[in-house]
Amino acid sequence: MQKFFSLAVLLLIGMAAHAQKQVSATSPDGQTKVTVTVSDRIYYDVESHGEQLFQQCHIGLTLRDRTLGEKPVLKGKKVTTVRETVTPIHPLKASQVENNYTLLTLTFGGNYKVEWRVYDDGVAYRFVTALKGDIEVMSEDGTWQLSKPGKLVLQQPGGFKTSCEENYSVVASNEWKAEDRMSELPILVMGERQKVLISEFDLFDYAGVFLKSTGEGTNAFSIVQPKCPTEYEDQGDRSHKILKEADYVAKTAGTRSFPWRYMYITQSDTQLPVNAMPVRLAPANAIGPTDWIKVGQTCWDWLNGIPFGPDVTFKSGINLETYKYFIDFAARNGVGYILIDEGWAKNTRDPFVTNPEVHLPEIIAYGKSKGVGVILWLPWLTVEHHMDLFQKFEEWGIKGTKIDFMDRQDQWMVNFYERVAKEAAKHHIFVDFHGAFHPSGLDYKYPNVLTYEGVRGMEYNGSCKPDNSVWLPFLRNAVGPMDYTPGSMLNYQPEVHHGNRPICAGVGTKVFNLAIFVLAESNLQMLMDNPCRYDQWPDCRDFLTSVPVNWDETRVLAAEAGQYCVTAKRKGDRWFIGGITNSQERDLQLKLDFLLAGKQFAMTSFADGVNADIIAMDYIRKESKVGSTTTLPVHMARNGGWCAVIQ
């Protein structure tokens, strides 16, 4: 009997060992490794540069009739190496991006696969299904288990309805409770040696992801998603009231690839702002030729739309004379567009009847004669009810639209974004999404989508503080274009800030507000202030209007996440440098060894003045000669900055 029992135990151990399979893939440089364990579910570990970052993370898709990843049967594995160079249509960081990775494809019984890409600086995975007909995804299991406690940088809304404009919060991973607020993407995991930026990409016909703690002390968090709305009614002119939701998060095609879940891994804070994962994971362009899409800067009337001064002899407001004034300024300064916000239409619900005071046809014609295009603001609900407006806008000569207040990322709303992008592209209209969630691939499939808000930007006036904005290069802007609406000429330190529409002001020094114009990446960059104020500071105006929106090369010269960031960007043979700090003053030594050796360059720089810590308007402009051996001493006042152009 004892012998029989021993044999049975050995048999069970052997069966368990046979049932649990491990497969590994290593990055091209051998420093990053993913180990996938197939047992009762699909688990994975991530190791980078000799440190285990995640352990026993698990993934799965629960469908109406089965769960992919539950008792999985591994049918096959394939490992390949990919080396290619990607040329982005709109290069926010670099005109060429290396896309080198190890591809691990695991095929499971039940007609699905999981694809893993292992990069030198990151890991991404996604499900790929080959199922008949449509499927209903009830929930997705995506759980990240940290190997050791760390700090998490989160953006925590009060619910699924959110414009994604909350301030960042820093939470210890072992103190984040299950009952605490969830977080939007991206999030930043800050370990002692390494940092990991977590986000999603290639999001189509599916619900966006939020992350929620699995419980205090677990050091783990997992995916939660909004259910798909099935009944709704208009709530005012810019929102839906959801009356009924399905019990699933998505009903979609059974044969498809699902969104990437990616982890960008770095050992240096200077690498976070140059995250290249979105370019590497991007879907292909779906709209054909893109030469009609012109990126650039735009004037904007919402925050500071009342010109005044000796050259203003008309009654300012939402009228023809005011917008001609904006167009004249744009034309004089090489700005490609003006954006006319709410008020151009007689009624926000009807995009075809314009405000008679605006004389929109005359504004469009006047802008065309000056080489300045017109962009029009719209609430998303008006677009939904009048999807034929893009054809009309093309007939009118409108170049782009700013679409606002979506404030959701359920499957229905994700699909709305794509329907808009597709229809706008048919009529050569570009799009700026406000009240939007983070970029997740739509702007690559539809390059006429130029930028997104989803950020606490300058619209917030006094509550848009450098202590929060300094996180943006490391999180929100690291994952895609960001409409921060920078460029304020009226500047205050936070404790004395005042001013609201129509005279809005920026928090932080004047040079902070110049420098963030270099740092904030957007294919459509706003000049948030009034032309008359820019003309009061012509040296600042000339610097701002000279800053490109697309770049050939980006180098972060000095950075500490959430503290300060100094970045150099090259367009052609010119370099722009922008540096910002939080409420702590900084003294840095910047090496210019990225410049061509043996040559002298002219540098125009802007620095905080000696009293900028009190009077935020105080600044110093300087012209000097520099070269590749130059080391620049840079001082930034509290909530301050430093910027320069080198040519």
Q: What is the pLDDT of residue 19?
A: 60
pLDDT surpasses 90 at 1: no
Contact (Cβ atoms closer than 8 angstroms) between residue 21 and residue 109: no
Would you call 404 a catalytic residue per the annotation? yes
- Considering only CA atoms, give the Rg of the chain: 26
DSSP 600-633: -EEEEEEEE-TTTTTSTT-EEEEEEEE-TT-EEE
DSSP 521-543: --SEEEE-S-HHHHTTSHHHHHH
C-alpha distances in angstroms, 336 versus 38, 130, 526? 55, 46, 11
- Sign, Cα dihedral of 424, 430, 434, 440: positive
E strand map for 369-441: 373-379, 400-404, 430-433
Would you call 70 a catalytic residue per the annotation? no
Express each pLDDT in 407-423 by its tens digit: 999 999 999 999 999 99
Q: How many CB atoms lie within 10 A of CB 61?
A: 22
C-alpha distances in angstroms, 36 versus 52, 73, 221, 639? 14, 13, 19, 45
Express each pLDDT in 375-406 by its tens digit: 999 999 999 999 999 999 999 999 999 999 99
**Residue 6's pLDDT band (cuts 50, 70, 90):** very low
> Which one from 141, 200, 459, 483 is the annotated catalytic residue?
459
- In whole angstroms, what is the distance from residue 452 CA to residue 444 CA? 13
| b/e code 424-462 from CB counts within 10 Å (16+ = b) | bbebbbbbbbbbbbbbbbbbbbbbbbbbbbbbbbbbbbb
Of 197-211, 261-275, 491-505, which range is least confident?
A: 491-505
The mean pLDDT value for 123-128 works out to 98
> Which one from 404, 432, 483, 521 is the annotated catalytic residue?
404
pLDDT surpasses 70 at 91: yes
The mean pLDDT value for 504-531 works out to 97
Could you tell me what percent of the chain has a pLDDT over 90?
A: 96
Express each pLDDT in 17-73 by its tens digit: 446 899 999 999 999 999 999 999 999 999 999 999 999 999 999 999 999 999 999
Contact (Cβ atoms closer than 8 angstroms) between residue 642 and residue 567: no
The mean pLDDT value for 480-508 works out to 95
pLDDT surpasses 80 at 165: yes
Domains of the chain: 19-281 (2.70.98.10), 283-454 (3.20.20.70), 457-475+488-520+541-647 (2.60.40.1180)
pLDDT surpasses 80 at 5: no
Q: What is the pLDDT of residue 499?
A: 81
pLDDT surpasses 60 at 8: no
For 642, the 3-state DSSP assignment is: strand
The mean pLDDT value for 564-571 works out to 98
Q: What is the pLDDT of residue 500?
A: 86
